[in-house]
Structure 1
Amino acid sequence: MPRSLRVLAPAVLLAATLAALLVGLGIGGGAAERALLDPGAVVRYGMPVARTLVNVSMAGLIGAVVLAVWALANVDPGVSHHGRPAAAASRASGETPAETRVALDLAAASSAVLTVASAATLILTYVDVSGLAFSADEAFGAGLAQFVTEIELGQLWLIELLLAAVTTVLAFAIRGRRSTLLVLVAALLTALPLAQQGHAAGASGHAQAVNSLLVHLVGAAVWLGGLLTLVFIARVVDGRRLAVVTARYSTLALFAFIGVAASGVVSAWLRVGSLDALFGTGYGRLVLIKTAALVVLGVFGAVQRTRLIPRIAASTERAFLWFVLAELAVMGIASGTAGALGRTATPVSFEPLRDQGEGTSPAEWLTGDPLPPELTVGSYLTVWKFDLAWTLVCVFGIALYVAGAIRLARRGDRWPIGRTVAWVLGMLMLFYTTNGALNAYEQYLFSVHMLGHMMLTMLIPLVLVLGAPITLALRATEKRGDGSWGGREWILWMVQTPYSKVITHPAVAAVVFAGSLWVFYFTPIARWAASEHLGHQWMIIHFLIAGYLFNLSMVGVDPVPYRFPYPLRLVTLFATMASHAFFGVTLMTGDGLMLADWYGAMGRTWGATPLEDQSTGGGIAWGIGELPTLALALVVAVQWARSDAKEQKRKDRAADRSGDAELEAYNAMLAEQARRDRRPARR
């Protein structure tokens, strides 16, 4: 690749981004002079520029690390050393392949820029909200310290700065394949504070907006950063290798496009609110510009995937790279427009309800959302509270599973239809639990919260485990031979790690499964999960994983290092059932209200009293919660019977092959023993 393109690519991206940002600020009025407490032109323009650099550098960081983990070789592809395979040669030399080294260098540089840009944005944000001019005196420093320790916006920017700094150190220091996962986790965490800033805490729809923006940020980062990484690694690989890496990136970009498009629609609708505002306000016009850029990028992606990738291997990568350059320019326009949107007033106000003075109900003050209508039987089908992140998890989960089953069928392999039905059913139940009435009412009614908890920890994991997703993935995913790790290689590594052997051990899984109930509800964790968005998402993930690992150790088909014998499995099941029953009885008979400052302070005028509702929740944990455990015990019994039947058939086949030699030898041994017993009697 010409050196000019390597220099021109980031220059075009930054130029298009800054140009679109300035135009967008003019259209939306985001940099207009204020009538009161104007911070000055430096802050009015410098703050959106710094924030846009945060977004672009975060994209370079996440995109480069994702490609390094998923698409690039950690051993030199196709290279051998003294007749040894490439993997052995790379281990012997201790060197990181050039393509991965370039990607990780880009990640480290992007993370360093992210750190500097975050620090600049933090200071400019403080100057903007405080109305104080920047200075080096003690008063300014004291105010800044108070801003980052007591004000949520300042705390989030401080967290972003610290995460970026830690990620920079990791990106410079780490080059190993497995340890790069640590860099990836740290890189993804840098998107979380930015997502939480996109919507005021305590405002209506905060949870949905945060998850939607998080999907948008991560998807755009993988898309933009991955494309920029292709330009940089093109100088160290040939056309054939570039075609392989680009094809893998294209798959990631397709998922990213779906996530960015879906989250963009949700975020725009939450902030615009009506068609009149879409066409009649500066914010709405910027949304239209960004939408047009997204459509153009979708066309770029389709052309890249269907026409250009095959041409790269034919030594025409120069045309491909110029095509990528044009795509980066459009991405810069989208990024700059997004930066302008962040500084433009939204048609729909997102002022926290608790700050609106009189007329705010207790439920609105606590949750940020108005109290839903009275819960009826029909409400379980008619009331919804959608969450884009979990919707995409379910959609992608079903799509990937079905694609794997279809791939096996085309190859001539059989995959049981029952497993497919079980997986799809489990994903649909997860979708309903995280988007339906259970999600809409769980903040206000403890009984509904407990019903959702039982779904997440007992029923949904059981059905998902019966789908055997790991086995399907291992059978449907192709093995790579170019030194990189794809789905098959990462899955095999995950199931063989010492950590996996510990958490999948039946005893450990049972303790976590049964003990999580007590630890969660009788510690401050429950209050954190009820009031904080991050805590609620942690609760969903934790109980899903805990339930999945327990069911996997009991009835799973997927490979695990060790499982209890069938009799001990039943003993374990009944022990966990007793623990759940005791927990439910404790709630039912208790005379104290759990989370009284939450469930007892909602101000509901309908339904049972908070204490009666808590008792109902205990009954759900005891009664309804035990039904999946009984179903699990039934599955264990059926598997036990089938195992005995298979063992008996194995013995019958062995007897048929040997002509009952084992039985005849056994009878001969008994006859000989009888003869020895008769000899002393005759004497």
Structure 2
Amino acid sequence: MLLAVGFVMLLVGLRIAGGADAQLLQDPGPVVRYGIPVTKMIVNLGAAGVLGALVLAVFALRSDKPEFNRALDVAAGSAALLTVASAATGFLTFMQLTVKSVRFDNSYGDLLGQFLTQVEIGQAWLITTLIAAAVTVLCFAVRNVTALVFVGVLAVVMLVPMAQQGHAAGTTGHDAAITALGLHLVFAAVWLGGLLVLVIISPQLDNDRMLSVISRYSTVALIAFIVVAASGYVSAELRIGSLDRLLTPYGLLVLIKVGALIALGIFGAAYRRSLIARLAESGRRYFFWKIAVVELAFMGIASGAAAALGRSAPPVDQTIPAVQTPAQILTGEQLPPELELSRYFTEWNFDLLWILLCGFGIVFYLAGVRRLHKRGDTWPIHRSVLWVAGMLLLFYVTNGGVNVYEKYLFSVHMLGHMTLSMMVPLLLVPAAPITLIMRAVAKRQDGTRGGREWVLLAVHSKIGSFLANPIVAALLFAGSLWLFYYSPLFRWATVDHIGHEWMIAHFLVTGYLLVQALIGVDPVPYRFPYPFRLLLLLAVMAFHAFFGLAMMTGNGLLLADWYGAMGRPWGPTAIEDQQTGGGIAWSVGEIPTVILAIAVAIQWSKQDKKETTRRDRTADRTNEAELGEYNAMLERLNSRR
């Protein structure tokens, strides 16, 4: 059903938008013109089978039951199909670009080798094929639930080269397009693949297990629906631009895909509202099969439309301008207006990944607090306020004026660095999210691992314990300053969008670990006594100040071919701006450190007060027995003298 409907929709979509029409010059032939969208659709379906099966295996299925092995067999078979399809897509793309007939000689092999190793799109399909082959082997060999998480991460990495092909580099919105397409690929695959695997393994599930797996899948599907809808909107906005362009052939395909998405959302609501209840009451699966078949048909429509869109020219011009400014050449965007204080709040550069993370973070946290209140438990209001404030600050730094100007001014980049690594964790850590998860999320009793189990496993693992060590956290925080800025990592994080996303996560995590080690509320394997915490903080402050001073007094420009070649007609020179960034690291960065020192001192005082109160209560309860024993010991010593 899925393949049939998807294939028919693909042919209809290619016909509507002309994605497989013969080219006037150097036409590669119908095999290539139709073969590329067909193989790409198979690639997408293969990725769906892999990710859907792995998500269900690690989140919903028991490792000691037959359905677990069946799901991993589906993952392995899907990965094998993806390997073949991605290799075929790469070869057909080579034929499209070279317009050469297949030959079995050295020159043709050399040309193909150059395409796969030196041309960007060829490298992308080669990497996808190799990773898919590795995932195929791992899905056959690995049966440990924890290890399967890393296999899933590798499967997500497999889709990164595909996401980077989604928008012309150097054109407006390139970074946003990569993020949107990447999120769309991953979550659509989880959504579609999860349903497909659920249908395949359902005969091996009894009614109780079927009910629990469907309930867990519906939660995953709801999250996937939100992400797919948001990322699809961003992609359509970048490629269509205005409502009147929805009447173009490309826009018509977008409308078909939107209609399929809305229908799938309605089916998802049916899962949560009626299917689960009916299955629990009667145990009959007729309604599940009815909805599943229709839902797979609509997923086939969406998959076919997506493959056709990938071969169709959008109405928005995506060609690179012949004449570009230095800023356009380097960043793909126009140089923003001169930076003033008001620009920090009026200029925006939205990053869908962090919008979704902040949104989900606030919603899930408040949902946990609401669950505690419903059962009569309390949760300090200041923790909720701190968490929401921290998430809103994270949203601003990753989407507001800081994110606009950090590409062009090192000082703004350093301001974002200090906020991410020090201010945001200072708000998030006292909110105690791990404690909330432990209290609000029910423990599973059927041997599977849900969100609570995975979080606790990560916290109590050897890696988690190592990273939570106060000395390790301090070394990561302070050492990464020098390692990041004086290594190729800084260039990667500045030039490449994926590197930029990694940089944000790195600053956030290292700062969170340090603040958690100093004033954290959540349980950790080991904490320093309060005097040592202050000493550790003073050492970090000194190291941080030394780094800022080195930046302020240094005369060597970091990334001179980036910050020094931006062509800004306004603002300070690149070296002056870098020195200003050093001043920000030294001065602004020390403010959260002072707050941390005050917080440690306050916690120390409270701890001493608690200890004194405990001793007083013990003395009252035992009628000063401890003091009496001490006085008796002094009397014995005196009598011996």
Residue 511 of structure 1: aligned partner: 475
Q: Deviations for 1:115-139, whole angstroms, at most 9, x for unmatched residues?
A: 0000000000111122222332222
Residue 9 of structure 2: aligned partner: 20
Residue 93 of structure 2: aligned partner: 125
- Structure 1 residues 220-229 or 174-183, which shifts more? 174-183
Residue 69 of structure 2: aligned partner: 101
How far the C-alpha of 1:408 sits from its partner, in A, is 0.6
Counterpart CA distance in 1 for 2:102 and 2:421 is 52
How far the C-alpha of 1:185 sits from its partner, in A, is 1.0
- Pick from 264, 267, 271 the counterpart of residue 235 of structure 2: 267
> If the length of structure 1 is used for normalisation, what is the TM-score?
0.93
Residue 113 of structure 1: aligned partner: 81
Whether 1:136 aligns to 2:125 is: no
Residues 284-323 of structure 1 mapped to structure 2, 5 A cutoff: 284-313=251-280, 314-323=282-291
- Structure 1 residues 526-535 or 22-31, which shifts more? 526-535
Residues 346-425 of structure 1 mapped to structure 2, 5 A cutoff: 346-352=314-320, 356-357=321-322, 359-425=323-389
How far the C-alpha of 1:537 sits from its partner, in A, is 1.2
- Pick from 654, 657, 665 the counterpart of residue 629 of structure 2: 665
- Pick from 578, 582, 585 the counterpart of residue 618 of structure 1: 582
Counterpart CA distance in 2 for 1:330 and 1:488 is 33
Whether 1:243 aligns to 2:211 is: yes
Counterpart CA distance in 2 for 1:525 and 1:247 is 42
Residue aligned with 2:145, SS: coil
Counterpart CA distance in 2 for 1:136 and 1:348 is 41
Counterpart CA distance in 2 for 1:435 and 1:72 is 38
How far the C-alpha of 1:304 sits from its partner, in A, is 1.5
Residue 42 of structure 1: aligned partner: 31
Q: Aligned residue pairs: how many?
A: 640
Segments of 5+ residues of structure 2 without an aligned counterpart are: none
Residue 62 of structure 1: aligned partner: 51
Residue 42 of structure 2: aligned partner: 53
Q: Contact 1:73/1:100 (CA < 8 Å) preserved in 2?
A: yes
Whether 1:437 aligns to 2:426 is: no
How far the C-alpha of 1:492 sits from its partner, in A, is 1.8
Residue 140 of structure 2: aligned partner: 172
Whether 1:655 aligns to 2:623 is: no
Whether 1:333 aligns to 2:333 is: no
How far the C-alpha of 1:349 sits from its partner, in A, is 2.0
- Structure 1 residues 390-399 or 664-673, which shifts more? 664-673
RMSD: 1.0
How far the C-alpha of 1:318 sits from its partner, in A, is 2.7
State the AA in 2 paired with 1:647: E
Whether 1:530 aligns to 2:498 is: no
Counterpart CA distance in 2 for 1:532 and 1:141 is 31
Counterpart CA distance in 2 for 1:257 and 1:652 is 58
- Pick from 496, 503, 525 the counterpart of residue 539 of structure 1: 503
State the AA in 2 paired with 1:612: E
Residue 567 of structure 2: aligned partner: 603
Q: Contact 1:240/1:312 (CA < 8 Å) preserved in 2?
A: no
Counterpart CA distance in 2 for 1:511 and 1:332 is 51
Q: Contact 1:293/1:333 (CA < 8 Å) preserved in 2?
A: yes
Residue 548 of structure 2: aligned partner: 584
How far the C-alpha of 1:627 sits from its partner, in A, is 0.7
- Pick from 120, 140, 159 the counterpart of residue 152 of structure 1: 120
How far the C-alpha of 1:290 sits from its partner, in A, is 0.4
Q: Deviations for 1:45-98, whole angstroms, at most 9, x for unmatched residues?
A: 0100000100111011101100111111123xxxxxxxxxxxxxxxxxxxxx21
How far the C-alpha of 1:411 sits from its partner, in A, is 1.1
How far the C-alpha of 1:202 sits from its partner, in A, is 2.3
Counterpart CA distance in 2 for 1:465 and 1:363 is 38
- Pick from 213, 222, 226 the counterpart of residue 194 of structure 2: 226
Residue aligned with 1:197, SS: coil
Residue aligned with 2:572, SS: coil
Residue 86 of structure 1: aligned partner: none
Residue aligned with 2:378, SS: coil
Counterpart CA distance in 2 for 1:270 and 1:514 is 40
Counterpart CA distance in 2 for 1:649 and 1:131 is 84
Counterpart CA distance in 2 for 1:451 and 1:348 is 35
How far the C-alpha of 1:194 sits from its partner, in A, is 1.2
Counterpart CA distance in 2 for 1:599 and 1:153 is 28
Counterpart CA distance in 2 for 1:163 and 1:596 is 35
Counterpart CA distance in 2 for 1:290 and 1:149 is 35
Segments of 5+ residues of structure 1 without an aligned counterpart are: 1-11, 76-96, 678-683
Counterpart CA distance in 1 for 2:219 and 2:604 is 42
Residue aligned with 2:336, SS: coil
State the AA in 1 paired with 2:44: N
Residue 30 of structure 1: aligned partner: 19
Counterpart CA distance in 1 for 2:81 and 2:616 is 70
How far the C-alpha of 1:109 sits from its partner, in A, is 0.6
Q: Contact 1:99/1:236 (CA < 8 Å) preserved in 2?
A: yes
How far the C-alpha of 1:345 sits from its partner, in A, is 0.1
Counterpart CA distance in 1 for 2:129 and 2:541 is 46
Residue aligned with 1:464, SS: helix
Residue aligned with 1:639, SS: helix
How far the C-alpha of 1:673 sits from its partner, in A, is 2.1
State the AA in 1 paired with 2:189: A
Counterpart CA distance in 1 for 2:4 and 2:518 is 57
Residue aligned with 1:235, SS: helix
Whether 1:190 aligns to 2:154 is: no
Q: Deviations for 1:275-313, whole angstroms, at most 9, x for unmatched residues?
A: 12111x111110011001111111111112101112223
Q: Contact 1:43/1:127 (CA < 8 Å) preserved in 2?
A: yes
> If the length of structure 2 is used for normalisation, what is the TM-score?
0.99
Residue 529 of structure 2: aligned partner: 565
How far the C-alpha of 1:559 sits from its partner, in A, is 1.2
Residue aligned with 1:202, SS: coil
How far the C-alpha of 1:162 sits from its partner, in A, is 1.1
Residue aligned with 1:234, SS: helix
Q: Deviations for 1:425-478, whole angstroms, at most 9, x for unmatched residues?
A: 111111011101111111100000000011111111121111111110111110
